[in-house]
Structure 1
Amino acid sequence: MTASGTSPSPSAEAVEPAGHPRLHRGLRMLGTLFITLSAITPASSVFIISPGVIGQAGTGAFWAFAVAGVVGVFMALVYAELSSAFPLSGGEYAITARALGRLPGFVVLGLILVTQLLIVAVIALGVGTYLSVLFPHLNAPVTAAVTTLLATVLAVFDIKLNAWVTGIFLAIEMVALIVVSALGLLHPKRSLGDLVAHPVVAAAGSNPAVTAVGVGTIGAATAVAIFAYNGYGSAVYFGEETQDAPRSIAKTVLWALGITVFAELIPTTAVLIGAPDLPSLFGADNMMKYFITATSNSKVNDAISLAVAVAIFNAVLAIILVTARMVFSTGRDSAWPAPVSKALAAIHPKFGSPWIATIFTGVVSAGFCFADNTFLLVVTSTTIIAVYAALAMSSIAGRRNGSTAHAAYRMPGWPVAPVLALAAIAYVVYENFQDPKVGRPSLWTTIGIAVVSAAYYLVALRRRGTWELKGAEDS
């Protein structure tokens, strides 16, 4: 099976009637899966997000990731059905606008646009941390910006090339996770039963000790673990470039979630089972470095750190590919003044890529690499909650108003998945509201972005009547 199949040349399909540029279908399902998994970046989640979950819930992190996987199934089923009905490069905003209405759709557009442009910077800032094993004095923002710009150059090229590049880098990432898993599972210091029946967390006080962890703490950590799995829905952005998209994209979403859960849950569990000393693990400034050096040596840690740096670059590349397609779609839909929309909707005559949208995405994201870390965290922490809620409601509305009746994939047990997803989202909102440092300010920021987006739509777009929802189904 190959990452891409035989298809017409990009230049042949890039020449489109004025006002309706169209991407070419150069991907098969495997190529789309490579890019989607790279955007999720399991290795980055294990090395960056998992330690935060472990620090919060201790060995209860096993339960947090397991429950988060169940919640992920609910949202993946929602994504699969909606992307099967609307496999469009606009992603979530294009789906919501068609199923729930134009105003909610444009609000989602605003939330996703801001989040995606900033999340590239958030991820790229991790490159310097892991390259520091070889270059200890790297400037983090400069390194992140250079990484982003290099990925942008690569993202301008043909999507088939990028599918292969992300696939190769993804293989390196998975090898690093296999090594981490082997270090813990082959030399266990405690059983899986201990994690399940007797989860513990670091005890308060100066003495290194552990104490039982409560259900509430594990629940709060689950809210973080849910986001560690996030990204499987990114497959929909390549719906206009994937062959047999209505079926392929739905399958890709489900496969991406399944692989991600295993790729993150198993290494995290291995760390909890194989750590020589839990108090030392919980108290380490760098938990993964402690675990790897305690179970092997510093050279193995250096090799894995470099693999994680590769994984982060791969994630930056994949997310730029995703975001550029969404930005391209906003231009094709005439969401902005005519000259801006026309430029963003341009397709490269040789590579068949949305090249101006790609460059715009990369340059803006590189600029955000110099922003304050707290600002980046606050803006990006909870916007995805609102997007998830909009999608869950879109799946319900789509069934009721018939807008998704043509979907090639129908989720089993409807409406269980969207209803349970909404319940989980409500819980995550509650937990974030309890956090006055990041969670609550982030929720207010999300509301602010939604209000500004709604105002732009009502004052500018609806009055002008220029926002047109276009896509592959119009050709």
Structure 2
Amino acid sequence: MTASGTSPSRSTDTAPQGRPGLRRGLKMLGTLFITLSATTPASSVFIISPGVVSQAGTGAFWAFAVAGVVGVFMALIYAELSSAFPLSGGEYAITARALGKLPGFVVLGLILVTQLLIVAVIALGVGTYLEVLFPHLDVAATAAVTTLLATALAVFDIKLNAWVTGIFLAIEMVALIVVSALGFFHPKRSLGDLIAHPVAAAASGSTVTAVGVGTIGAATAVAIFAYNGYGSAVYFGEETTDAPRNISRTILWALAITVFAELIPTTAVLIGAPNLPSLFGADNMMKYFITATSDSTVNDVISLAVAVAIFNAVLAIILVTARMVFSTGRDAAWPGPASRALAAIHPRFGSPWIATILTGVVSAGFCFADDTFLLVVTSTTIIAVYAALALSSIAGRRNGSTAHAAYRMPAWPLAPVLALGAIGYVVYENFQDPKVGRPSLWTTIGIAVVSAAYYLIVVRRRGAWELKGAEDA
């Protein structure tokens, strides 16, 4: 029995040896393109940032700044763990090796459900921004078609997809630069005002009032998730050259770029908005800001750029999720025929093609699910995954399972300890929200319980789940 809890014995359910594996066709830059596309800064600024602003007003600056510090803690954890285990299974493969198989399978369940649904959550934004050219679009159908088109592209070679995401990423970055310029070139208040005197909408809606530390803290919980996605680089560890070093570097670069790409435009909007009560009360804050500081044509062009960014995010997340689903098949998490199918590699493109198609089809189906259902299921599962990774980094140091890591986080164990503290605070804030946060926490617990039960009753008794890497293909 190794430190990861794996057993040398094999089961007849295990996928046969000798099948082709994923190809190492990515350099660090290509992996960074896909990772940033999965993080999707433009989508966060246009979709998530307004929610933070509506809650904390100009205190959103502090919320995003503090969230960036929390992001540093998690990025350091991701970097060390991914340099030890640069595997396509991502978080579940890491947790299973550092904490044990049962926690690993629970994380597998959480990630599997979240990733399949999050594609639908993001894709549903495409129709909103395409309405500038095509009014009265069916949002759900548009999202499903978007998902299926991205799936078709995701089946192709990973290098092609890296270039496609890189081109689309450049488009969304240009949109963010334009938004930043609109705010900073015609400022209506100073950065000092945002820092020293944060304000939010008053009860009347026509004036502003000082915002407290507690409100900013609650908004920080949302801002943390706006930055999420930098850890996606680990899923391409088996397709990236010199993965132990390049994946950890990619994660750290992805976080830094994401924080700047989201914090700067958000700050520009808060500084350049002509009227704060109008900004806070707008149904679409970004549309209000852009039309108030330029014109409707600029808003139309930027809206199309955001639609491109959302498609890019859907493509990147399907690439990520397909590799995780592929890994579950290779590890024989499911009955033999299903596992062997999911572990199949396309002979020409070198992609996990069956896992990719299944991911896209299931996610497209979820595009027709109720919005509240999608929000409740996906809101807090990442909290549990973050906690598992923080604990894995501590356990890996203690039991030696991460001793071979190419990257070691500085000032250990400061990052995991502070990350766990921040996670505890986010859990508390979500529990105070009876509409979405609390139901989401109970849903997360429910998914974890079902995953644990499946592992204990089915997988462990079958003795088939083996943690594999590229060398086992």
Question: TM-score scaled by structure 2?
Answer: 0.96
Residue aligning to 1:317: 315
How far apart in 2 are the matches of 1:340 and 1:283? 50
Aligned residue for 1:95?
A: 94
| Equivalent-residue separation in structure 1 for 2:86 and 2:325 (angstroms) | 16
Question: 2:150 aligned with 1:145, yes or no?
Answer: no
Shift of residue 301, structure 1, vs aligned partner: 0.2
Deviation digits for residues 424-456 of structure 1, max 9, x if unmatched? Answer: 000000000000000000000000000000000
Contact 2:17 2:472 in 1 (8 A): no
Structure 1 SS opposite 2:200: strand
Q: Which residue of 2 aligns with 1:328?
A: 326
Aligned-partner Cα distance in 2 for 1:416–1:83: 18
**Deviation per residue, 1:228-258 (Å, 9 max, x gap):** 0000000000000000000000000000000
- The residue number in structure 1 matching 2:443 is 445
**1:251 counterpart = 2:249:** yes
For 1:349, the equivalent position in structure 2 comes to 347
Task: Map 1:13-32 to 2 at 5 A.
Answer: 18=17, 21-32=20-31
Q: CA deviation at 1:21?
A: 4.3
2 CA distance for matches of 1:18 and 1:103?
Answer: 25
1:13 equivalent in structure 2: none
Q: For 1:215-235, what per-residue CA distance to the aligned partner results, in whole angstroms no more than 9, with x for missing partners?
A: 000000000000000000000
* 1:408 partner amino acid: A
Which residues of 2 match residues 64-213 of structure 1 at below 5 A? 64-205=63-204, 208-213=206-211
Cα shift at 1:18: 3.1
Instruction: Give deviations 1:348-398, integer Å, cap 9, x for gaps.
Output: 000000000000000000000000000000000000000000000000000
CA contact (8 A) 1:434 1:440 kept: yes
Alignment of 1:236 onto 2:234: yes
Aligned to 2:397: 399
CA distance in 1, matches of 2:80, 2:188: 43
Deviation at 1:160, TM superposition (A): 0.2
Q: Cα offset for 1:474?
A: 4.2
- In structure 1, the residue matched to 2:6 is none
1:19 deviates by 6.2
Aligned to 1:266: 264
Shift of 1:17: 6.7
- Which residue of structure 2 lines up, in the alignment, with residue 455 of structure 1? 453
User: Which structure 2 segments of 5+ residues have no match?
Assistant: 1-14
Supply the AA of the counterpart residue of 2:421. Answer: A
- SS in structure 2 of the partner of residue 347 of structure 1: coil
CA distance in structure 2 between the partners assigned to 1:162 and 1:202 by the alignment: 43
Distance 1:362 1:194 in 2: 46
1:470 maps to 468
Structure 1 SS opposite 2:77: helix
Q: Tell whether the 8 Å contact from 1:333 to 1:468 is kept in structure 2 after alignment.
A: yes
Whether the 8 Å CA contact 1:148–1:316 is kept in 2: the answer is: yes
- Secondary structure of 1:370 counterpart: coil
Q: Which residue is equivalent to 2:382?
A: 384
Out of 364, 368, 371, the position equivalent to 1:370 is 368
Which residue identity lines up with residue 43 of structure 2 in the other structure?
A: S
Residue 294 of structure 1 is matched in structure 2 by: 292
CA 19–382 in structure 1, closer or farther in 2 if over 3 Å, else same: farther
SS in 2 for 1:126: helix
Partner of residue 274, structure 2: 276
- In the alignment, the residues of structure 2 paired with residue 136 and residue 176 of structure 1 have an alpha-carbon distance, to the nearest angstrom, of 22
Question: Which amino acid counterpart does residue 371 of structure 1 have in structure 2?
Answer: A
Deviations 1:175-217 (A, max 9, x none): 00000000001110000000000000000025x0000000000
Q: Distance in 2 between matches of 1:257 and 1:136?
A: 36
- Paired residue for 1:5? none
Q: Aligned partners of 1:467 and 1:17: how far apart in 2?
A: 13
Task: Give the corresponding residue for 1:61.
Answer: 60
CA shift for structure 1 position 284: 0.5
**1:472 Cα shift?**
2.0
CA distance in 2, matches of 1:137, 1:428: 37
Q: Give the residue type in structure 1 aligned to 2:104.
A: G
Total equivalences in the alignment: 459
Alignment of 1:28-39 (within 5 A): 28-39=27-38
Post-superposition offset of 1:137: 1.1
Q: Distance in 1 between matches of 2:422 and 2:296?
A: 40
SS of 1:169 mapped into structure 2: helix
| 1:434 and 2:427 are equivalent in the alignment | no
Q: CA deviation at 1:321?
A: 0.1
Q: Measure the CA separation in 2 of the matches of 1:264 and 1:305.
A: 17
Deviations 1:396-443 (A, max 9, x none): 000000000000000000000000000000000000000000000000
Q: Distance in 1 between matches of 2:91 and 2:23?
A: 20
- The secondary structure found in structure 2 opposite 1:201 is strand
